[in-house]
Structure 1
Amino acid sequence: MSNQFPARPELQSGSWHFGIVASEYNRDYVDGLVNFAKDELLTIAPKSEISIVRVPGSFEIPIGVQRLIENRIVDAVLGFGVIFDGETMHAELIAGAVTTALMNLSLQHHTPILHEVLVVKNDQQANERCLLPNINRGIEAARAAVRILNALKSLGKE
Structure 2
Amino acid sequence: MNQTHPTIPTPSRRGRIALLASRWHPELVQRITGAATQELHRLGWTAKQIELHELPGAFEFPLYALRLAEAGQHQALIACALVVDGGIYRHEFVAQAVIDGLMRVQLDSRMPVFSASLTPQHFHEHAVHQQFFHEHLAIKGVEAAQACATTLAAHERLAPLAG
Structure 1 length normalisation: TM-score?
0.85
Cα gap change, 1:137 to 1:125, in 2 (>3 Å): farther
Q: Please identify which structure carries the higher strand content.
A: 1
1:132 positional shift: 2.0
Relative to structure 1, is the Cα distance of residues 126 and 33 closer, same or farther in structure 2, using a 3 angstrom cutoff?
A: farther
Aligned to 1:41: 40
Q: In angstroms, what is the RMSD of aligned CA positions? A: 2.6
2:80–2:117 CA contact under 8 A, matched in 1: yes
> Does residue 92 of structure 2 align to residue 92 of structure 1?
yes
Distance in 1 (CA, whole Å) between partners of 2:132 and 2:107 is 31
Specify whether residues 83 and 9 from structure 1 end up closer, same or farther in structure 2 by C-alpha distance, changes over 3 A only.
Answer: same
1:144 to 147, 152, 155: 147
How far did residue 27 of structure 1 move? 0.6
Q: How far did residue 61 of structure 1 move?
A: 1.2
5+ residue gaps, structure 1: none
Q: Tell me what 2:21 maps to.
A: 22
User: Structure 2: any 5+ residue segments left out of the alignment?
Assistant: none
Which TM-score applies when normalising by structure 2? Answer: 0.83
The structure, 1 or 2, with the larger RCO (C-alpha pairs under 8 Å, 6+ apart) is 2
Deviation at 1:10, TM superposition (A): 4.9
Give the counterpart letter for 2:105 in structure 1.
Answer: L
Deviation at residue 96 of structure 1 after TM alignment:
0.4
Structure with bigger gyration radius: 2
Whether contact under 8 Å (1:18, 1:74) holds in the other structure is yes
4+ residue segments displaced more than 6 Å? none
